[in-house]
Amino acid sequence: MNILKPDVVLLDEIDSGLDVDSLKLVGESVMDYYREHKPAILLVTHYQRLLDYIKPDFVHIMKDGKIVKSGDDSLVLKIEKEGYDKLYGDE
């Protein structure tokens, strides 16, 4: 393993405090890095708009620190359409 080319990259809330233009730049930079080096990327975010730029292969939806749903990126589209609170909020 090369420290400059890790096998796994953890991105925790990289969207915090970013405006839309900066968010796009960061997302595109992450995807450029991925295409060049092919690491596994674990992305933690509350802001699903970031996923417009970073296209996930697999998604976990969490509530109260527990995974409540897993699947492909179609989960993101479902949340955008129906809303997180409607799908996973308190009944």
Question: Any idea what the CATH number is for the domain that residue 18 is in?
Answer: 3.40.50.300
C-alpha 22, offset from chain centre? 16
Is 1 inside a domain boundary? no
Is 32 inside a domain boundary? yes
Is 2 inside a domain boundary? no
Task: Give the C-alpha separation, 43 to 51, whole Å.
Answer: 10
Task: Give the C-alpha separation, 46 to 49, whole Å.
Answer: 9
Structural domains in the chain (count): 1
Pick the more confident residue, 88 or 6: 6
pLDDT tens by residue, 38-89: 999 999 988 878 888 888 888 888 888 899 889 888 888 888 788 878 777 7
Domain of 32? 8-86
